[in-house]
Amino acid sequence: MSTRRTTRNAKLASIPLGIAGRAAVGLGKRLAGGDRQQINEELARKAAEQLFSVLGELKGGAMKLGQALSVMEAAIPEELAQPYREALTKLQADAPPMPTSSVHRVLDQQLGLGWRKRFRHFDDAPTASASIGQVHRAVWSDGRDVAVKVQYPGADEALRADLKTLKRMAGLFSTLAPGADVKAMLTEISARTEEELDYRTEAQNQRTFAKAFAGHDRFVVPKVIASAPKVIVSEWLTGTPLSKIIKEGDKALRDRAGALMAEFHFSSPAVAGLLQCDPHPGNYMMLDDNRLGVIDYGACAPFPEGLPPILGALVRLVVGERFDELTQLMYDNGFVLDGHEVSPQEVADYLRPITDPLRSETFHFTRKWLQQAAAPGMDFNSKQFKTGRAMNLPSQYVMIMRVLVGSVGIACQLDAEAGFRQIMADWLPGFADPVPAT
């Protein structure tokens, strides 16, 4: 094993070791009569600081997990979130750039030694960098401004190795967010590793979206101009990144951004037959004409028939508070783990806090609401936590849930007011149709 790989593994291994060590110290303090809440808050703060510090240093699967978790920073209580909120936001878009010589070498290999002739100008300084690649601004031979996405050399090896390591740590990561199915998230990411590593697949996904949303009055998907296994060239979009809107945007802009992002997520399976599965602010921007620009199509899930109607039926029963029927439907469709039992009342108590956005025409997504909604599921001693342990998420719904959670998390970061209920009615099969009484 190379020194570099040994170093990466050592950094990743430091996370669970640190968590375990602090947990032991915390147990000792509690046995000695220390304040339980204060000790737990301190443990959570230190664990989160270490987690995102380490993930931020590493590209590959480590950073990808960090980005996926970072969209839920709004769920972290204010007293814990402030020390590392900026670090979480940074994970959404930034990583140390690769040397210019490495960029040129990849372009030589992927576009041919004469690649410079295909551009009028190529900016060697990257405009953005992320988990497995970075983006450069350039001017194509026909004068169009383009974005050139270049994969890091060795990203494939790092991504596969990191995901393998992180999957072994899934149980320990779950102690930071007991309500989140980290193992399912990692399994989903692992299953799509090969697709994300081949930019030709991403290019095909993006072409599908661009064709489906061509001329749309609310969304813009940049057209792909050229692609290779490790390089993709697409039209450049100029707009205000969601990360900036979160910090500085006025209420009208934040509301529109949150609503458009949710509509894009729920409408794309019906419009394009695909679901974009990487929701974080770095992938969205508001254009000057008030349309939402959407980039990055490496992680997409096929839904050629649109979203599954059973999901709409489940949500409809939640909104109607028909929990007896809902619980039976959950059992019938694998949403309860084999050998476990949950009552309709337990299901009601578990779901009510997180389905508030569907109980009114519009809903104000705030950090405070998300913290309150997530708190019971993150409390080891709560009834909701125990109910959650009996729940199951069938594999065909993992990507949908990841997108839904990400969409809600970003809406809360935006402090946006949006009509999620109408968006569901428009685009979620089975939601608008009354579920027959039994």
Separation in Å, CA 430 to CA 30, 393, 396, 433: 49, 19, 17, 5
Q: What are 368-393's pLDDT values in tens digits?
A: 898 888 777 666 677 887 888 788 88
In this prediction, residue 95 carries a pLDDT of 57
- Say which residues have a Cβ less than 8 Å from residue 6's Cβ, sequence separation at least 6: none
Strand ranges (E), 102-248: 119-122, 128-129, 133-140, 145-151, 219-220, 224-228, 231-235, 240-241
- Say which residues have a Cβ less than 8 Å from residue 120's Cβ, sequence separation at least 6: 138, 139, 140, 141, 143
Whether 149 and 135 have beta carbons less than 8 Å apart is answered as: yes
Please provide the DSSP assignment of 289-306 as one string: TSPEEE---SSEEE-TT-
In this prediction, residue 342 carries a pLDDT of 92
Residue 84's pLDDT band (boundaries 50, 70, 90)?
very low
Distance CA 340, CA 336 (A): 7
Q: What are 309-363's pLDDT values in tens digits?
A: 999 999 899 888 899 999 999 999 989 888 889 999 999 988 887 888 988 889 9
Of 136 and 37, the one with more pLDDT: 136
| 16 has a pLDDT exceeding 50 | no
Q: Which among 328, 348, 320, 335 has a CA at the least distance from the CA of 396? A: 335
Distance CA 268, CA 415 (A): 24
In this prediction, residue 330 carries a pLDDT of 94
pTM for the predicted model, two decimal places: 0.79
Whether 237 and 276 have beta carbons less than 8 Å apart is answered as: no
Residue 27's pLDDT band (boundaries 50, 70, 90)?
very low
Of 132 and 6, the one with more pLDDT: 132
pLDDT (mean) for 258-264: 96
Strand ranges (E), 177-283: 219-220, 224-228, 231-235, 240-241, 274-276
**How much is the mean pLDDT over the chain?**
79
In this prediction, residue 55 carries a pLDDT of 54
In this prediction, residue 132 carries a pLDDT of 81
